[in-house]
Amino acid sequence: MKGPDPKPPIERFWKYVKSHLEASSCWIWMGGNNGKYGRFYRGPHRDSPQCRVYAHRFIYEHYFGSIPDNMTINHLCEVPLCVNPSHLEVATMADNMRYGNNPTAIKARQTACKYGHPFDESNTIIKGNGCRSCKTCNRARALVSANNRRKRRG
């Protein structure tokens, strides 16, 4: 059985980067990816899921320290395979969803719920998945279900 790779992960990391000669250009990840973001086995156990990280997250943490659990990494250059730390910024999940055109992003850009209640600070609940929820509508729904319960009871 082969033991863990003795080389520090960062040394192996650079082998997968196309070019990091110019500080300002994109450093393209040439290793494995998940169809969008680069993937890196930080080791020591290549097959352990805990050792499998996104390449851009690995390099961000290498330079700037660990990323808080509820935060995500944004590519300022919009090149998902780029691992240039100066192109990366830490952002909240909600921030990140304001970019792009996936349904969640479009939803996140809306300034009001579908009934027109504003998504302002006092009327908005940020759910665990980063989606917003309208307090006015939630209150209305809670009232309706409370009324229904009362009605059922007679």
- Residue numbers at the binding site for Zn ion (CB under 5 A): 26, 77, 79, 82, 84, 87, 113, 115, 117, 134, 136-137
Whole-number minimum distance, CB 7 to Zn ion, in Å? 26
CB 134 within 8 A of CB 124: yes
Within 10 angstroms of residue 153's Cβ, the number of other Cβ atoms is 6
Q: Which is nearer to Zn ion, 51 or 131 (CB)?
A: 131
Smaller CB separation from Zn ion, 72 or 84: 84
CA 101 – CA 46 distance, rounded (Å):
34
Which is closer to Zn ion, CB of 81 or CB of 97?
A: 81
Question: In the bound complex, what is the minimum distance in angstroms from residue 84's beta carbon to Zn ion?
Answer: 5
CB of 4 to Zn ion, least distance (A): 31
Q: Which run of H or of E encompasses 134?
A: strand 132-134
Q: Looking at beta carbons only, is 82 or 97 nearer to Zn ion? A: 82
Q: Hunting for tokens 């730390």 — which residue is that?
A: 85
Give all strands (DSSP E) within 28-131, no chain letters.
39-41, 52-54, 71-75, 88-92, 124-126
Torsion of CA 8, 11, 16, 22, to 10 degrees: 140
- Least distance from Zn ion to the Cβ atom of residue 15, Å: 19
Q: Which is nearer to Zn ion, 53 or 59 (CB)?
A: 59
- Nearest distance from residue 48's CB to Zn ion, in Å? 29
Single out the residue of 50, 55, 57 nearest to residue 72, CA to CA: 57
